[in-house]
Structure 1
């Protein structure tokens, strides 16, 4: 109590907090931190458009595939041609803010190494090869792994089936390559039939039947095929359309659902029935829809579900 009265305990706590804050500040004011933050900003800026495109609820697959290629090429340009400009940018920042710039010809000393043992390479090699090249190569490898040949053929095929702009993206070869991935749905005999159906289908819906000229996506296409009875004329094409219709729901929508599950069903609220969990999850995912529903409608719906002793 004496320390609290005189303020010594409080001063000690403030002094320790201030010292800890100064320690963190000094740790951040290093060339390594400045270099890593600038490199991270450049890499994230390159992949930003692709990330935003893939997170959209209504995905534009054709544009997404183009953005994948754009990101790969920009990362390669960053790796091949922009090392000098990155170092110049980092050095300018360090000079402006009095951050020590190391001598790149000296041996690299890692703070993680036991007794700070000298490495067998220079500081320049560390930042250029061990950090700069490795991070970009890892990012390129990640894009190549996620968008390999199979995934690329699938996405290109879906994009070619899209009816937007009067089926302007249609390419029968890419659609056939997509169908080859579904061995259980399209055997060898079906593949030859599918090719003929696709040839007739595209002439029908693009050049002959004007009812297909104003479609905005696969949902509109599937509805119009059923309404016009063309789903029975081109059953294998309709099967492809249904597969394409399901694909976006198997990517970003499912990822969003799993992310939402962590908020709804957490450690503090882990026991709930499936019906109740589904009832919580759907409004969370479809916020745009439920924001338009008034409280009065919700109250009335709840009141009509079963008799209640108290009228809400």
Structure 2
């Protein structure tokens, strides 16, 4: 795992795994979850960062003693159960941390997708293009499902009718 992910990403994954509800939250670790909050300093105020440790300690005692939380096997089910039992309002910082845990895989996958796309779009022949043009090309490539629904003819006509064209565009058939 160390060769695939950076140390920071590995730490984030380890910290998030502390929310695992299996075996009566056996992997729950307050100190690691407090460190998780420090990765998201912009999402927690100074006061919240000071209160999160207390809230986590009260939360774990509460859910371990609540039979409604027995048998939960994944983070998604835990989040649903917190909403059903209104514990998301009792423990808002814990619930916010769980929401952030859901975002991490999506954010990581999106970044990896962008870099994979950039390797396709930015070839040796296109190595000299500017940042703005490469960004526009990446958006078009990544959102190709949306752009495939756009009719090309009006776009082609607009460029064809521009006065500053050096040559006429050929039609794509």
| TM-score normalised by the chain length of structure 2 | 0.62
CA contact (8 A) 1:197 1:234 kept: yes
* Count of equivalent residues: 126
Q: What residue in structure 2 maps to residue 193 of structure 1?
A: 51
- Rounded Cα–Cα distance in structure 1 between residues aligned with 2:101 and 2:68: 21
How much does 1:159 deviate? 0.6
- Post-superposition CA distance 1:185-240 (Å, at most 9, x none): 2232111211111000001112x101111112111011000000000000000000
CA contact (8 A) 1:153 1:177 kept: no
Q: What residue in structure 1 maps to residue 78 of structure 2?
A: 221
Matched residue of 2:106: which SS?
Answer: helix
1:272–1:196 Cα change, 3 Å:
same
Q: What residue in structure 1 maps to residue 155 of structure 2?
A: none
- Rounded Cα–Cα distance in structure 1 between residues aligned with 2:147 and 2:40: 39
1:210–1:257 Cα change, 3 Å:
farther
Q: Say which of 87, 93, 105 aligns to 1:236.
A: 93
- Rounded Cα–Cα distance in structure 2 between residues aligned with 1:273 and 1:227: 40
5+ residue gaps, structure 1: 1-67, 70-142, 275-312
**1:161 maps to 2:19:** yes
Q: Say which of 90, 102, 105 aligns to 1:248.
A: 105
Aligned ranges 1:1-312 → 2 under 5 Å: 68=1, 143=3, 146-148=5-7, 150-206=8-64, 208-252=65-109, 271-273=147-149
1:255–1:229 Cα change, 3 Å:
same
Larger Rg: 1
Matched residue of 2:14: which SS?
Answer: helix
5+ residue gaps, structure 2: 121-140, 151-173
How much does 1:152 deviate? 2.9
- Post-superposition CA distance 1:21-77 (Å, at most 9, x none): xxxxxxxxxxxxxxxxxxxxxxxxxxxxxxxxxxxxxxxxxxxxxxx26xxxxxxxx
- Post-superposition CA distance 1:227-278 (Å, at most 9, x none): 0000000000000010012222233487579979x8xx69xx995138xxxx
